[in-house]
Each structure stands twice: as C-alpha cells, then as structure tokens.
Amino acid sequence: DVEKAVVAAEEAFKTWSLAEPSYRGNLMLKLADKIEANAELLASIESNDNGKALALARGDVALVAKVIRYYGGWADKIYGTTIDTNDGFFTYTRREPLGVCGQIIPWNFPLLMWSWKIGPALATGNTIVMKTAESTPLSALVASEYAKDVGIPPGVINILSGYGPTGAQIAKHMRIKKVAFTGSTATGRKIMEMAAGSNLKKVTLELGGKSPHIIFNDADLDTAVDVASLGIFYNSGEVCSAGSRLYVQEEVYDEVIERLKAKAEAIPVGDPFNLETFQGAQTSKQQLDKILGYIKVGKEEGARVVTGGERLDRPGYFVAPTIFADVNENMRIVKEEIFGPVITATKFKTVDEVVKLANNTEYGLGAGLHTTDINKAIDVSNKIHSGSVWVNTYNAFHESVPFGGFNQSGMGREMGQQGLDNYTQVKAVRMKIEPKHWLALI
C-alpha cells in the first residue's frame, strides 16, 4: 500500500510542483471553506473516534480551517533572494519542494495534526503519503475527501490507515524525501534511525513533553488556577504540551492547591456529546491502563493524592481529574510523560530555584508562567528551555505562531512561516556575466 501511494504521489508531483502557486493556494482556500461548511460533522466524527468532548472538538476544527487558509495564503509567497556578489556573476536562490513527503500523525488531535502536516506541504508544492493513527483514522479520511471535492488533483494527498509497520515503511522508503512525525519520543527515535538508514531523508519530529507550569506569588490567582486546570485537564490530559508539572511559590502554594482541587472536582467528566462535558473519555483501553499504572506508581512513591487518583465507576475509559502534591523530582510521575489528566504540584521559593526545576527534564516542548511583573515574565521566559512559553495563559495556539520542541521534544517547527522551512530546499544559481565593451560599439 505504501508503494502504491508513493507511485501515485510521484506522478502527481510532476504537475503539482510546477503548477502556478496561486492555483495551489486557491484550492487550499476552497478546502478551508469546505471544512468550515462541514465543521459540525467533522467535530462529531472527531469526538466519536477519539472520545474528546464535542465542545473541544469544535475548537479543533475551527483551527484546522485557519491553518489550511493560512498556508493557502503563503503558496504564492515562497520567495528566493538575489545575492549581490559584485564579482561578475548574477546570483539568486530558489526555494523548491522536496518531492514526496511522508507524514505520520497521532491520535490525540487527529484532524488538527492532519492540517499542521498537509498545510505547509501543499503550499510549497510537495505531495503527501500520510499514515493516520490506527485508533483514530476517520476524520482525516473525510477531510481528504473534501480535498478531492474542491479539485486538488488525484495523488497529491494519499491517506493510509495502518499500524506501526505502515509507518516504518514510510520512514524507510527510498523515494520518500522527507518524513514528519508527531508522537512519542521513543517512536521518534526509531523513525529517525530508519530515515538515516535508508536515504537520509529530512526528518521533523514533534515528540513528548513534561511541561512546567509556574505560578508566582504575585500572579492573579483566579486566572492562574483556571489556566492551570485547563492546561492539564483539557482534552482529557492527552496533550503533548500539557502543563503536567505545577510549580507554585510557597506563599500561595496551599491556596492554589485548594483552589485547583475544587476546580478539578467540578469538571464535568462524561459523554463527549453532552455539551456540558469538558473532559471526555481516554482514547483507548491501552491509554487508560497506562494512566492508571502511573497513578498507582505515584501512590507507591509516596505522593499525596489531593483529589482523583482512580478510574471513574461508569462504562467507558474515564479517569477522575487527579492532583498529586508534595512530590519530589525523582518520582516517576514527575519525570515521565503520563499523557492523561494527572498533575503533580511542587512548592518553590525563588526564581532561580524554579527555573532550575523547570529545566530539570529531558523534554522541552511547552511551559507556562503566571505573574503580574512583566520584567519577571520576560526574564523567566528567556531562561526556560522550551519551544513555547505561555505567560498568563496556556496552550494558546495560533496558526501563525511556530510550535515545536527543544531537547528530546523534537526538531523542526510546525505552523507559522517556520513551518514552510521543513518542506523546501534551497537552490543557488550563479550565472557568469560577460562584460560588454560598449565603447567599441560606438
């Protein structure tokens, strides 16, 4: 199946890469309109497939349309440069597409990751072979049908529904020029190894996280607690950049923990199609068991359960929003990505101490901090080793703002102008110019 998809993508690349950029852009704008026109259907498919609350899935689909429209606007603005060398040459650069691009997307934001991947690839003239997550294949299939409906030619977008071996074939394929992956750090390592062992294809990786979320004693606590709750319990905690490590300055620690406990216990957990629901089901039995396993480990390690810490007694894969307090940095629940509605809380004294704690991780995807001191906000933001830092907010994504990780959270960026860099290669052209002896012609 991968081979068939590559052959189709190679054939389509011959014309798609040479098409007028405005033609590609206009088709992408039509695709964004089509997605918006069918937003409720797509959100419902996403909730049914993934288990997330419908209210949150609607927000995902809205951002999907914005991302496709944003990159559609970039299609005819992929510029090269002229370089004045003053040595008898005319020199310019071109940014050219790579060719067939492999893309492997995760199950936590299936349609959103579809858009983050195909947007820059289509705008720059590449063709796509994408593998969806085996547990959430539906929304990408429907949205890609819309691509066909608006006139994007056959073979430009190829969707494969498969398991791990399908992704491995994409990573190893000798004629796929680039692979983009979103998922776990362990799988990202394997993909990088397979890419290097085949044709040294370009690789971009958006991997795991264990993101710090800091509340200083001068923060607006109403906002800080609301945002801390959103930062971990949104999407049932199945967010790579979730603010899963909470650090609270000692003067407000007890108050924040009590407020966060009340907030967690008030979260509506249940049927994703109930519009009052904020936290839906975990995506799979496998993920449910992983989360419950970490909760068990946290209890065994001696962390104090403030609230939650159990599976909810009802049909479905539901976990109570869970807060662990009085943890230490050596605990597994502090060091390892849980990918569920579980947060750990730690008390700190000084700015230097919390910066050191925040950076004490192998990851570096997201971070948040709350303060009313703009000087502190900028100083701490600059010192945290993370691809994104949100101040007095969290997970505030925008299609024009790049997103990606430091350290073992990955390489490359998605969204924003920087997302285009992953799908172009630069060619330099130098032409020797012979000087004309104009006086001899008079």
CA atoms of 388 and 395, how far apart (whole Å): 9
CA atoms of 256 and 251, how far apart (whole Å): 10
**Torsion angle in degrees (nearest 10) through CA of 404, 239, 108, 34:** -60
Q: Decide if 52 contacts 235 (C-beta within 8 A).
A: yes
- Please identify every residue annotated as catalytic: 206, 240
CA atoms of 116 and 35, how far apart (whole Å): 14
Short-list 178, 183, 190, CA closest to 128? 178
CA atoms of 85 and 196, how far apart (whole Å): 36
Task: Determine the length of the chain.
Answer: 442
Q: In what order do the strands lie in the sheet with 82-83?
A: 82-83, 89-97, 424-432
Rg (CA), the chain: 24
Dihedrals phi, psi of 157, to nearest 5 degrees: -120, 120
392 Rama sector, left if φ>0, alpha if ψ -120 to 50, beta otherwise: left
CA atoms of 134 and 116, how far apart (whole Å): 19
Q: Could you give the 3-state DSSP secondary structure of residue 206?
A: strand
Point out which residues pair with 220 in neighbouring strands.
Answer: none
Which amino acid is residue 360, in one-letter code?
N
